[in-house]
Amino acid sequence: MRTLFAQFDCEEALPRLYHFIDEELQAHELEAMRDHLDGCDNCAYEHEVRSKLKNVIREACVDTAPPSVRQRVVARLAELRQALAEPA
Ligand SMILES: [Zn+2]
């Protein structure tokens, strides 16, 4: 087990996922996040889902999105969750 960096548990890692995806974490937090995602299937899964959601949002350019666009994005996220949950 690596103990070079402070280890995140899931409660610490999950709130930082969006910042991790946006590369807004401090260096030591980035390392702790990478360590945690390496060893935690649950958070790695959340990371994958949220990364995909961010791509969907970016593609939809929803900065000033009307509710209909937001609904499409939420529906797309549900599809992604289902796709990821299905065994390959
Ligand atoms: Zn975790």
Q: How far is CA 85 from CA 25, 56, 77, in A?
A: 28, 18, 12
Q: Measure the CA–CA gap between 58 and 62, rounded to whole angstroms.
A: 7
Asked whether residue 60 is assigned to any structural domain, the reply reads yes
Q: How far is CA 36 from CA 42, 54, 76, 87, in A?
A: 10, 21, 27, 23
For 30-71, write each residue's pLDDT tens digit.
Answer: 999 999 999 999 999 999 999 998 888 777 765 666 778 778
Asked whether residue 3 is assigned to any structural domain, the reply reads no
Asked whether residue 57 is assigned to any structural domain, the reply reads yes
Q: Which domain holds residue 45?
A: 10-85
End-to-end CA distance of the chain: 29
Asked whether residue 4 is assigned to any structural domain, the reply reads no
Q: How far is the CA of 31 from the centre of ligand 1 (A)?
A: 14
Q: How far is the CA of 82 from the centre of ligand 1 (A)?
A: 20
Q: How far is the CA of 71 from the centre of ligand 1 (A)?
A: 28
Asked whether residue 45 is assigned to any structural domain, the reply reads yes
- Kindly report the pTM of this predicted structure: 0.60
Asked whether residue 1 is assigned to any structural domain, the reply reads no
Positive/negative CA dihedral, 56, 61, 64, 68? negative
5 pLDDT more than 60: no
